[in-house]
Amino acid sequence: MALSSLDIQNKTFDTKFRGYDKVEIDEFLDLVTRDYDEFAQTIKDQDRELKTLREQIKYYDDMRDTLNNSIVVAQDAADNLRSQAEAESGKIIDDAGVKGQNIIEGAKKEGGVILTQASADASRLIRDADDLRRKMRLYHQRMKQLIEAQLANVNSEEWTEVLNPSELMILNPEEKLQEIVDNAASTAAAQTEEPEAEAKAEEVVEAKPEEKTSEITSEAISEVTSEAKESKAEATETAEEASSEAKSESIDFGNTMEFNK
């Protein structure tokens, strides 16, 4: 059983022979009681303070646990955000790389198509220009041949005979003159029909792979054909005029010969 100050104060002792002084014992008990009460109060105060400190310690421990949990939660959240950000940034980078590669490949493909088309157009234009030059050279050559043939006809012996009539011409001027005119007209017609026929043959043989080539070739052939027809008409007209003049001169010459007779 725990001893209290009241127990100390009420404690009695039996008196024996040659025992202690009762007054001194009572005084000592009073002193012990007072000191005991002081120690007991001090212990109570310390217990109360200890309880308070323990409560504070518990509060701080709880706060520490809460803070630790908050730190852990914040760290987890930060780790999740970082992982999510890294994943999203990696996805964005990958998507950007794929899109950039697609754009580059598309640009290369489109550039290749444009370059190929431009090269094909340039080659086609060069071929068209070469064909046009070849046809112009052919036209020039045929016209030159036609003109030379006409000059040859003009400088032929038949025309010499017209200009310087022989005895046969004098005897039958109209028949001889008509023969000369017919020969000149047939020669001119043959010379003018030849380049036209060749131009038409070239038009039939040539293929039409592209619209522009067809337009250029058709225009060139049409122009050559038109000019050939015009040249033929001019040559025919010239031959007819020469024939008319020759007939007129022949009639005049015949009249003169009859008058002289």
Query: What is the predicted pLDDT for the residue at 88?
Result: 92
Query: What is the predicted pLDDT for the residue at 83?
Result: 92
Query: What is the predicted pLDDT for the residue at 241?
Result: 64
Q: How many residues does the chain have?
A: 261
Query: What is the predicted pLDDT for the residue at 23?
Result: 80
Is the Cβ–Cβ distance between 157 and 180 less than 8 Å? no
Query: What is the predicted pLDDT for the residue at 258?
Result: 47
Query: What is the predicted pLDDT for the residue at 74?
Result: 92
pLDDT values of the chain reduced to their tens digit, one per residue, 261 residues: 466 667 666 767 666 666 777 787 778 888 888 888 888 899 999 999 999 999 999 999 999 999 999 999 999 999 999 999 999 999 999 999 999 999 999 999 998 999 999 999 999 999 999 999 999 999 999 999 988 888 887 777 766 665 665 555 455 556 655 666 666 666 656 655 555 544 454 454 344 434 444 444 445 445 545 655 565 566 556 556 655 665 565 555 455 444 444
Query: What is the predicted pLDDT for the residue at 37?
Result: 87
Query: What is the predicted pLDDT for the residue at 206?
Result: 44
- If we measure between CA atoms, which residue out of 75, 196, 91, 209 comes closest to residue 146? 196
- If we measure between CA atoms, which residue out of 208, 192, 209 comes closest to residue 142? 192
Three-state secondary structure call for residue 141: helix
* H or E element that contains 24: helix 22-154
Is the Cβ–Cβ distance between 188 and 232 less than 8 Å? yes
The token pair that represents 135 in the structure block: 């046809």
Is the Cβ–Cβ distance between 207 and 169 less than 8 Å? no
Sign of the alpha-carbon dihedral angle for 247, 249, 254, 255: positive
Is the Cβ–Cβ distance between 235 and 191 less than 8 Å? yes
Other CB atoms closer than 10 Å to residue 50's CB: what's the count? 11
Whole-model pTM above 0.75?
A: no
Query: What is the predicted pLDDT for the residue at 216?
Result: 42
Domain ranges of the chain: 131-260
**Displacement of CA 58 from its chain's centroid (Å):** 73
Alpha-carbon distances, residue 6 vs 24, 25, 59, 101, 215 (angstroms): 18, 15, 38, 99, 138
**Displacement of CA 170 from its chain's centroid (Å):** 85
Is the Cβ–Cβ distance between 188 and 153 less than 8 Å? yes
